[in-house]
Structure 1
Amino acid sequence: MDKLDLLGVVTVISLFVSFFLAFFLLTVKTTHKSSNRIFAFFLIISAIDISEPLVSLFSDGPSNLGMLRSTVSFLQIPVFYLYVLSVCYSDFKWKPKYFLHLIPFLVVNALLTPRFYSVDLASKFDFIVNRQNMVELQFTHWLFHLQIMVYFAAIFLLLRRAKKLYLENNSGGDLSSYQWLFQFTGVLTVFYLVVILKNIFKFSDYTYVSDRIKIGILVSQLFIICWYLYKALNHPGLFRNIDSRLKLVADMVLEDQKTEPETLNDDLLKLKKYMSDEKPFLDPALTIQDISEAMNVPFRELSVLINHQLGQHFYDFVNTYRIETAMEILRDPSKSKVTILEILYEVGFNSKSSFNTAFKKHTGNTPTEYRKSLQMNTL
């Protein structure tokens, strides 16, 4: 099978998988339609971007449609950024300002209009043949690379902020969904770095290297899409419970440093008594807002108290009480037949992985190891 045939076969398979998954995301019944639609759009744009080997079979030379197809790549990363934004925040809504992400795409196409879009076929051929000397293509080349670096940096900062907000305001669930989204973004970052490498060879004297890398990109894209489908079906919730209007505690502290130490001490005593007496941590979906309302303590003060003054995130603060309660159960001889799974649900956890992680962080042992050590000590 020659190079062109291999490219064509891999391209067809990639296009089929991309469009099939996009169709699934657009038609599946879910409460998270915005995220699904944005990612479906990302898949469609990606499919258009990789369709060049097939388009070349039906084209006798450079065309306006072909050039427009190649510039669609400027929409990929901005759309993925919006997807991550929609996944992290439950109150995500489409805003007019998001259209600003179209600027690189529009600028590039406007730049290409005088010497490509508006000229005859012969001039288009000359433009492509001399592409290494064309300022427009050089600018497009470097702008695309800059866009990749800027957007992925913004995405990682967004994920970092979302994780901190989650830890400061929520106690339910675990961080596996965040880890997956972070991993997926990391894989895409590597993928686009390889794309950059391909483009460097494309505008050099070693274009055959670019073609070989292109085959690897198409194959890897198949695996990335399939991996996404598998993970997305197993993590349908992701975060989706973070309000974008929430502020990080570090920002609150900078804004307001007027809280008196006596007030903080009173609130701390009140908080500890409430946690011990009412045991709100048994609720897997407990949030810092729930405790604020129940104690009649302003959310801002409570958040600063736990996440700043106590030096631990709300997520860890609540889990400490859950682990202490779990340890009491494990030490109780009358409950020796209660399984670890039953205990974790009883104390407020909703996944075995998050329970094991929190328990080992607090005690240095897994729940099973802790129970075995207690049994050994009683012998």
Structure 2
Amino acid sequence: MVEVQFNHILMHVQCVFYIVAAFLILRKAKKIYLENYTGASLESLNWLFQFTLALSIFFSIALLKNIFKFTAYPDVAEWLKVGLILSELVIIFWYLYKALNNPALFRNIDSRLKLVSEIIFEDKNINPGVIREKEHNSTLLTLKQYMTEEMPFLNPSLTIQEVSKDIKIPVRELSVLINHNLEQHFYDFVNNYRIAYAMDLLKDASQNKVTVLEILYAAGFNSKSSFNTAFKKHTGQTPTAYRKSL
């Protein structure tokens, strides 16, 4: 029936719009996470992306099944239906496994966070005609002194909220200082200190027997891939190559 076909088309077009919207939101969320979180906290974002991708693949198979339903190959649609049922079970068990073994993944999402660009735009609207580019020297000095002396970057789950609480600077002001004035994401800002700390350990002759894996964990990283990426971005070399060149 034409009406049934039209309903199927309308339903799938709607789902496509929802999926596209979900990935656009995830892209914005990635920027927010990089501006406010580091290492371990980004696992929540990776989990959201993986789950959205899995659902997108599931929907693509469902779309293919419904296409075959209206062709001369309805048997293919039936086989795809069986595949969807099995896929659904896999997704459900995967979701439960993640929830039971990593409950923190579902508690690290703060919907109140905003992009720095939005914060700056709001500040300009509150004070029309005034560009709020204050002198941040004293604040920046306090921040750098805190990072050097207290070494909070050794915490793999460090957030901008924790730094704000320790140095008694509002999150809003601190976020603008790092992400806008220093033109760095909080993620990169913290990683610079971690890399400098790791480089000191790699250069230390007394640490020759310490493996690169042990050093990356000691420096506050929580995975070898993120450490290698950040180290190469900062030095142009891998940690192993850097150690051999000393």
Both proteins in one fold, TM over 0.5: yes
Does the 8 A contact of 1:177 with 1:235 survive in 2?
no
How far off is 1:260 after superposition?
4.1
Code of the aligned partner of 1:142: I
Residue 117 (structure 2) aligns with: 250
Q: Does residue 300 in structure 1 map to residue 179 in structure 2?
A: no
Residue 104 (structure 2) aligns with: 237
Does the 8 A contact of 1:174 with 1:354 survive in 2?
no
Partner SS state of residue 194, structure 2: helix
Residue 150 (structure 1) aligns with: 17
Does the 8 A contact of 1:165 with 1:242 survive in 2?
no
Closer/same/farther in 2, CA of residues 181 and 290 from structure 1, 3 Å limit: closer
Closer/same/farther in 2, CA of residues 292 and 227 from structure 1, 3 Å limit: closer
Instruction: Provide Cα deviations, 1:65-94, integer angstroms capped at 9, x if missing partner.
Output: xxxxxxxxxxxxxxxxxxxxxxxxxxxxxx
Code of the aligned partner of 2:58: F
Gaps of 5+ in 1: 1-131, 375-379
Q: Does residue 214 in structure 1 map to residue 214 in structure 2?
A: no
Partner SS state of residue 104, structure 2: coil
The separation in 1 between residues aligned to 2:166 and 2:243, in whole angstroms, is: 35
Q: 2:28 aligns with which of 133, 146, 161?
A: 161
Code of the aligned partner of 1:320: N
Does the 8 A contact of 2:178 with 2:186 survive in 1?
yes
Question: Which aligned pairs between 1:180-199 and structure 2 lie closer than 5 A?
Answer: 180-199=47-66
How far off is 1:149 after superposition?
0.8
How far off is 1:232 after superposition?
5.9
The separation in 2 between residues aligned to 1:173 and 1:371, in whole angstroms, is: 26
The separation in 2 between residues aligned to 1:360 and 1:228, in whole angstroms, is: 34
Code of the aligned partner of 1:369: A
How far off is 1:307 after superposition?
1.4
How far off is 1:251 after superposition?
0.9
Does the 8 A contact of 1:168 with 1:313 survive in 2?
yes
Residue 152 (structure 2) aligns with: 280
Does the 8 A contact of 1:171 with 1:318 survive in 2?
yes
Instruction: Provide Cα deviations, 1:164-198, integer angstroms capped at 9, x if missing partner.
Output: 22221112416455335423422331331221122
The separation in 1 between residues aligned to 2:44 and 2:109, in whole angstroms, is: 13
How far off is 1:346 after superposition?
2.6
The separation in 1 between residues aligned to 2:208 and 2:89, in whole angstroms, is: 49
Residue 36 (structure 1) aligns with: none
Partner SS state of residue 111, structure 2: coil
Code of the aligned partner of 2:80: I
Code of the aligned partner of 1:303: S
Does the 8 A contact of 1:173 with 1:354 survive in 2?
no
Gaps of 5+ in 2: 125-129
Q: Does residue 341 in structure 1 map to residue 174 in structure 2?
A: no
Calculate percent identity across the aligned residue pairs: 60
The separation in 2 between residues aligned to 1:287 and 1:239, in whole angstroms, is: 16
Code of the aligned partner of 1:246: L
How far off is 1:244 after superposition?
1.0
Partner SS state of residue 338, structure 1: coil
Residue 127 (structure 2) aligns with: none
The separation in 1 between residues aligned to 2:159 and 2:236, in whole angstroms, is: 26
Instruction: Provide Cα deviations, 1:119-165, integer angstroms capped at 9, x if missing partner.
Output: xxxxxxxxxxxxx14x3x24431232023112212221232233222
The separation in 1 between residues aligned to 2:232 and 2:93, in whole angstroms, is: 33
The separation in 2 between residues aligned to 1:232 and 1:305, in whole angstroms, is: 36
Partner SS state of residue 107, structure 2: coil
Residue 201 (structure 1) aligns with: 68
Does the 8 A contact of 1:360 with 1:366 survive in 2?
yes
Q: Relative to structure 2, which stretch is displaced further, 234-243 or 141-150? A: 234-243
How far off is 1:336 after superposition?
1.9
Does the 8 A contact of 2:123 with 2:132 survive in 1?
no
The separation in 1 between residues aligned to 2:82 and 2:207, in whole angstroms, is: 59
Q: Does residue 326 in structure 1 map to residue 198 in structure 2?
A: yes
The separation in 2 between residues aligned to 1:224 and 1:297, in whole angstroms, is: 43
Q: CA RMSD in A?
A: 2.8
The separation in 2 between residues aligned to 1:357 and 1:299, in whole angstroms, is: 28
The separation in 2 between residues aligned to 1:350 and 1:212, in whole angstroms, is: 42
How far off is 1:209 after superposition?
3.8
